[in-house]
Amino acid sequence: MILEEMTMGEFESGLKITRTVLLPFGSVEEHGYHLPLSTDTIQAYEVAKSAAKIIPLFVAPPIHYGCCRSTSCHPGTISITTQTLQNLLKDIVRSLYSHGLINFVILTGHAGGTHKMALIDAGEALVAELLEIKLAVLTEYDLAYTEGKDIIETIGDAHAGEIETSRILYLYPDLVKGTGQREFPTFPTGIIVRNKRNFWANGVWGDPTKATPEKGRRINELVVRKLIEFIEAFNRYSEE
């Protein structure tokens, strides 16, 4: 039940099957010289669509724009404010709630700290405002990192590294340009630096040279399985 593709009537029918909707949040963000700017969006939206083939689940169109603090100076990154991101999430949830949806799974492909916290913070406000809803915020990358720990060789692999490169190699091999370079940047602790790029030349955090499509396939499968497990538990979950 992919909202982009459904008609009004199909939406109405879907409401009889489930009241759960997944909102995929991504970003337009540099992912090195080898991965596409939409890497985060692709991962979140693809696993969401895969899950929706297996369990009843509405999947909203991806929110392509996120808060990208550390990469905001790298070419191609588009960063919106936390305030705008939060209002966007709130407006979408309120609107879907008015149509009868009550279980909201925020799945973010972008894992930046301020981005994640902004979503959680807005989630808290929504839960306080709409007394009948349940809401969860999941970071897709964290699922991949945890589920894929036996597959991945690179320690501390994070951004455009072994995990993400493997996954895009599997999902959209044509969008991978070359192999990327191993990089582990160092930022001065605590200090808010003006030009992040000075400290992070190539925009990679991890080792993309270890990536293979097969690793990507396996991680993807594990993440989809985990996501489905989560949603099934979430649907049953009750605080009372």
Smallest distance, its own copies to C-beta of residue 177, A: 5
Q: Binders of its own copies among 135-174, rule CB under 8 A?
A: 135-138
CA distances from 188 to 73, 198, 199, 200, 227 (A): 17, 11, 9, 12, 36
Cβ neighbour number for residue 126 with a 10 Å cutoff = 19
**Nearest distance from residue 67's CB to its own copies, in Å?**
8
Unique residue bearing structure tokens 């692709």: 42
Told to check if 183 binds its own copies by CB under 8 A, we report: no
Residue 107 and residue 230: Cα distance in Å, rounded?
A: 11
| Selected range binding its own copies among 46-54, 147-155, 191-199, 210-218, rule: CB under 8 A | 191-199
- Residue 27 in contact with residue 64, Cβ under 8 Å? yes
Q: Of 23-82, which residues contact its own copies (CB under 8 A)?
A: 28, 30-38, 41, 60-65, 67, 69, 72-82
Residue with tokens 């955090």: 205
Helix (H) or strand (E) holding 135, with range, is strand 134-139
**How many chain residues bind its own copies (CB under 8 A)?**
84
Which listed residue (150, 155, 191, 236) binds its own copies by CB under 8 A? 191
């599997």: which residue's tokens? 170
Site for its own copies, residues 91 to 130, rule: CB under 8 A: 91-92, 95-96, 98-99, 113-114, 116-118, 120-121, 123-124, 126-128
Pair 206, 184: CB distance under 8 Å: yes
Q: How far is the CB of 150 from its own copies (least distance, A)?
A: 20
Q: Does 188 bind its own copies (CB under 8 A)?
A: yes
Q: Does 229 bind its own copies (CB under 8 A)?
A: no
Question: Is 237 a binder of its own copies (CB under 8 A)?
Answer: yes
Stretch of 49-57, 149-157, 193-201, 214-222 contacting its own copies, by CB under 8 A: 193-201
Q: How many CB atoms lie within 10 A of CB 200?
A: 22
Query: Which parts of 202-221 interact with its own copies (CB under 8 A)?
Result: 203
Q: What is the smallest separation between the CB atom of 136 and its own copies, expressed in angstroms?
A: 4
CB 82 within 8 A of CB 25: no
Report the C-alpha gap between 127 and 165 in whole angstroms. 35
Q: Determine the interface stretch with its own copies among 1-9, 49-57, 148-156, 217-225 (rule: CB under 8 A).
A: 1-9
Q: Which two tokens stand for residue 139?
A: 């970071």
